[in-house]
Structure 1
Amino acid sequence: MAGTTIPTSTETVAPAALLQLMWLASPALPVGGFSYSEALETAVDSGRVTGEAQAAQWLRDQLQLALGRSDLAAAAQAFVAWQRGDADRIRVLNDWVLSTRESRELRGQTEQMGRSLVEWLKNRAGVDPRLAQLAALPPAPSWPVAFALAAVQTGAPLREALLSFAFGWAENMVQAALKAVPLGQSAGQRILAALVEAIPPAVDHAMTLADHERQAFAPMLAILSSQHETQYSRLFRS
């Protein structure tokens, strides 16, 4: 696949679709995103992140080097595949996401959040046959692929869906930083503002990536995630 073409004109987002994207990005969505730090807790424990500036840099790097080149790109391609009803493509993308989780905790996170979103979608009004396809993905639906279907159901354009995905990640990660570093609320808002500035270009880049350009190569993130499994004191599940 050659990547997803970025629209050249601004697409109007219906109010109902915009509200649903806000809902999907909310920490209150019952998928457990707030319970993961994605190795940030171990970065704090090891002394790599000790304050606001380092936390902001860590999360910005993670957005650009990891999320933007892997999960955002996979979600973009899954969004298009769900729209086209391409079940084979969905399976390939889900397999890729699961195979690129470099620790037990990171794989467990994407599987647990994917399953939880499936259950949430089952409780919404209307019947979507694609939901059964999502639920049946072996061994579990991944979070980016599940989110992509939820976003397609809103009727929102792709770019706005990816902005929602990235902002939901950012808000959860900032909350993790507040607890793990720890930081105050004002510091958290400054970090979130920096991430909000960095998200649109990360989304635009993710939308251009072809299959061979997607990658999840973040060695230190993987090492710290593995170390988190045996960390003595933990607040988070990853």
Structure 2
Amino acid sequence: MVTNSSLLSLLQLASPALPVGAYSYSEGLEMLVERGIINSAETLRNWIEQELQEGAIFLDGAVMVRALNAAYGGNWGKVQEWNHWSSASRETEELRQQSWQMGNALLRLLMALWPVGNRGEVTALGEEDCNFAVAFGIAASYWQIPPEVALLGYLHSWACNFIGAGVKLIPLGQTAGQQLLFNLQPNLVTAVQTILKVEDDELSSCTWGLSLASMQHETQYSRLFRS
């Protein structure tokens, strides 16, 4: 069951307006557009579908659910393990720095939102950098958001930010962007169902295209987004 309170918390947590800096990253999309690999709503959708099936966001979603469950059970050692695993899974420094920057920003926000006596969840990771998926899972655990619902919100938030970057870069009209997001609903639901069933030793991804775009973005001549 999703209570009104947990639903409202999820809407705030998954909002593109959440001040964690997600809007400033294109996750390699800027380079992909410059190279002509993504140049339309159709090619953007194909890329998003592949990412949901076997890309980095698939792994992030799986880590988020595991961090949520571990935090809910008070197993902070396991939360730290998944945070380390998530950092090690990043194939480029740029992607790792993005995850850390957004995760640390979310933890600071939670410190401001939660009562002083309930901040143990935020400080459990100590001084180490926190990946965004792990911070999202900690927040979802505190607000008692069910894993399936939290995961759907997490993936939807990622898709919103990615499509938002595509609207600016390709460019696409706002209506085309919303149509794309609407048409991706079945893919998001399928991704949730797959991620919830995957075992720890089955976690893998195929992200060489994203990795190459991420590395090349740093030296791109003209950029709108942060590397």
Q: TM bucket by the smaller chain?
A: over 0.9
2:50 alignment partner, one of 49, 61, 84: 61
| Structure 2 counterparts to residues 82-161 of structure 1, below 5 A | 82-126=71-115, 127-134=118-125, 136=126, 138=128, 140-161=129-150
| Structure 2 counterparts to residues 1-238 of structure 1, below 5 A | 12-67=1-56, 69-126=58-115, 127-134=118-125, 136=126, 138=128, 140-238=129-227
- Mapped to 2, the partners of 1:49 and 1:137 lie a distance apart of 39
- Mapped to 2, the partners of 1:92 and 1:104 lie a distance apart of 20
Runs of 4+ in structure 1 over 6 Å off: none
Alpha-carbon displacement from aligned partner over 1:163-192 (angstroms, at most 9, x marks no partner): 111111011111000011111011101111
- Mapped to 1, the partners of 2:53 and 2:65 lie a distance apart of 16
Structure 1 gap ranges (5+): 1-11
- Mapped to 2, the partners of 1:125 and 1:88 lie a distance apart of 22
- Mapped to 2, the partners of 1:113 and 1:185 lie a distance apart of 25
Q: Which residue type is aligned with residue 132 of structure 1?
A: T
The more displaced of 190-199 and 159-168 is 190-199
Task: Tell me the TM-score normalized by structure 2.
Answer: 0.95
- Mapped to 1, the partners of 2:119 and 2:198 lie a distance apart of 28
Percentage of pairs with the same residue: 37
Q: What does residue 5 of structure 1 align with?
A: none
Alpha-carbon displacement from aligned partner over 1:102-126 (angstroms, at most 9, x marks no partner): 1121111100000000110001132
Contact 2:51–2:58 (Cα < 8 Å) also in 1: no
Report the CA distance between 1:93 and its aligned residue. 0.6
Q: Which residue type is aligned with residue 147 of structure 2?
A: L
* Count of aligned positions: 225
The more displaced of 220-229 and 55-64 is 55-64
SS of corresponding position for 1:38: coil
Alpha-carbon displacement from aligned partner over 1:66-103 (angstroms, at most 9, x marks no partner): 14530011111111100111122111111111111111
Structure 2 gap ranges (5+): none
Contact 1:31–1:117 (Cα < 8 Å) also in 2: yes
Contact 2:60–2:86 (Cα < 8 Å) also in 1: yes
Q: Which residue type is aligned with residue 89 of structure 2?
A: T
